[in-house]
Amino acid sequence: MTSLLTVEGLTKAYPGVVANDHVSFDIAQGEVHALLGENGAGKSTLVKMIYGLVTPDSGHMTLRGAPYTPAEPRAARAAGVAMVFQHFSLFDALNVAENIALGMENPPPMRQLAARIRTVSETYGLPLSPDRLVGGLSAGERQRVEIIRCLLQDPKLLIMDEPTSVLTPQEVEILFATLRRLSAEGTAILYISHKLEEIRSLCDRATVLRLGKVVDSCNPREKSAAELAEMMVGAKLVAPSRAGGDLGDVVLEVAGLTLPAATPFGTTLRDISFSVRAGEILGIGGVAGNGQDELLSALSGEAHAAPDSVRLKGQSIGALGPSHRRRIAVLAAPEERLGHAAAPDMSLTENALLTGAIREGLAARGFLKWPAARAFAEKVIETFDVRTPGPGNAARSLSGGNLQKFVIGREVLQRPEVLVVNQPTWGVDASAAAAIRQSLLDLAETGTAVVVISQDLDELMEISDRFAALNEGRLSPPRPAVGLSMEEIGLMMGGAHDMEVAHVAE
């Protein structure tokens, strides 16, 4: 196999961190090459340099034997390098064809482009209608827009950043079939992921990054997932453990919860019903954008629902606001850390006050008790090993993992009867993720009813007693987590169902 892209000694430093430290590797033509590493290992910076979004401090690249120094993404695309972003670079208010045209150098007239979109999307098994508004598409369909945008330019190298994080297991299979076909046609694929099984089933080679450096390179098919994990993390990980105590009475009961979408592209919750017992962890899976945020809002009190649709030990609480719910020990930690769970520019003390004022008694007749708030923040920092110089630092100065530990810790320490968390370990490094999962298990141990909404199925299987899945605002009936197969989980998440619909709608 001939080398397509060679990367030699790429270095990129940001204030305080060396994101990439003399990174070297090469990708052969038609190869599916995995870039494996934890959050913060430097994978994103590396591919941004390859795609021309970031200029390296030193080092050089060659593409098909010629020096390759893309000054901007346009140059990268002209050289045959295309990229599908993890957080899609799409425009909700524009239609599919317009979105695709924006990613092309010289797009044909709209009508012609629409026809080509149809052809290419059919050819690769990714049906897509060119005149639908992107804001109304599911996460999987949005990804297709990105992929087709790339394919229309005949790329030699396709970079995919965590592509399966938004797909159901069935949709992952469809995607992999497309990628294998592309690879067979001679297109190289740089596949970024931290999901080991996927890499083992798809990739020909893997380059492992840790703390900005290449630590190893291997054929992932010859390694076990455990071996890969050890390469990636650099240490053996201890899986969270739980004693598995007895479950108590039903604490939280949701029955026939229906909530219209608050925003034009939001999801409507439809007839959601479940119950959680004291000491139980209910895992709620599903692909992004199927009502996760909305469900959390309905449970945290940010969105008002019918009073009887949410009950705490028989008491109707559906119409209570967040402050009322905190008073009765129904707490929540939303997905978006900066700007929702925490105010980025405020200090940790102020952020402790944000949800802790009521239960921790941080205010008396409206007047704030700053020393008490500070003490509470310090307690969270200490108990949950949050790495920060002190509670006076702004939330935005913390790393994702540390801020997430703070956000979860802030709720756990308030002794909730019910705790609802959304994406508790999203974008968090492995050790922090393990600590957070352990803390949720420990909390359930003390008799709290815990609802974990997550898109990470491995995580849910690891900590949940029962599992349910959100699909287009509906919740599947919860089933015991033990013994569920990936196939069954995928079907609960809607299988590849919405894709079929897209196909028929052509």
Q: Which residues bind other proteins (CB under 8 A)?
A: 15, 48, 52-55, 71-74, 77, 85, 88-94, 98, 101-103, 107, 263-264, 300-302, 321-323, 326, 332, 334, 336, 339-346, 350, 353-355, 357, 363, 366-368, 393-394, 396-397
Q: Report the 3 state secondary structure along 34-71.
A: EEECCCCCCHHHHHHHHCCCCCCCEEEEEECCEECCCC
Q: Which residues pair with 469 in a beta bridge?
A: 285
Query: How far apart are the C-alpha atoms of 398 and 394, rounded to whole Å?
Result: 8
In this structure, are residues 449 and 277 in contact, taking their beta carbons and an 8 Å threshold? Answer: yes
Closer to other proteins by Cβ: residue 329 or 394: 394
In this structure, are residues 96 and 134 in contact, taking their beta carbons and an 8 Å threshold? Answer: yes
Tell me whether strands 310-312 and 315-316 are parallel, antiparallel or unpaired. Answer: antiparallel
Closer to other proteins by Cβ: residue 314 or 366: 366
The least distance separating other proteins from the CB of residue 51, rounded to whole angstroms, comes to 9
Query: How far apart are the C-alpha atoms of 407 and 388, rounded to whole Å?
Result: 14
Query: How far apart are the C-alpha atoms of 92 and 265, rounded to whole Å?
Result: 8
In this structure, are residues 33 and 27 in contact, taking their beta carbons and an 8 Å threshold? Answer: yes
Q: Which residues pair with 472 in a beta bridge?
A: none
Query: How far apart are the C-alpha atoms of 298 and 308, rounded to whole Å?
Result: 12
User: Roughly what angle, to the nearest 10 degrees, separates helices 370-383 and 348-356?
Assistant: 100
Closer to other proteins by Cβ: residue 35 or 460: 35
The least distance separating other proteins from the CB of residue 443, rounded to whole angstroms, comes to 20
CA distance readout (Å), 463 to 323, 436, 487, 489: 28, 11, 19, 15
CA distance readout (Å), 473 to 92, 165, 470, 493: 19, 19, 6, 11
The least distance separating other proteins from the CB of residue 154, rounded to whole angstroms, comes to 18
The least distance separating other proteins from the CB of residue 302, rounded to whole angstroms, comes to 5
Q: Which residues pair with 310 in a beta bridge?
A: 254
Closer to other proteins by Cβ: residue 36 or 342: 342
The least distance separating other proteins from the CB of residue 445, rounded to whole angstroms, comes to 27
Query: How far apart are the C-alpha atoms of 504 and 506, rounded to whole Å?
Result: 5
Tell me whether strands 157-161 and 188-193 are parallel, antiparallel or unpaired. Answer: parallel
The least distance separating other proteins from the CB of residue 120, rounded to whole angstroms, comes to 19
Q: Which residues pair with 217 in a beta bridge?
A: 207
Report the largest interatomic distance among the alpha carbons of the chain, rounded to a whole angstrom: 74
Closer to other proteins by Cβ: residue 53 or 211: 53
Can you read off the two tokens belonging to residue 267?
């999801």
The least distance separating other proteins from the CB of residue 327, rounded to whole angstroms, comes to 10
Closer to other proteins by Cβ: residue 92 or 445: 92
Closer to other proteins by Cβ: residue 107 or 400: 107
Closer to other proteins by Cβ: residue 223 or 337: 337
The least distance separating other proteins from the CB of residue 105, rounded to whole angstroms, comes to 10
Closer to other proteins by Cβ: residue 98 or 230: 98
The least distance separating other proteins from the CB of residue 101, rounded to whole angstroms, comes to 6
Closer to other proteins by Cβ: residue 233 or 354: 354
Question: Of the candidates 252, 294, 309, which has an alpha carbon nearest to the alpha carbon of residue 466?
Answer: 252
The least distance separating other proteins from the CB of residue 277, rounded to whole angstroms, comes to 26
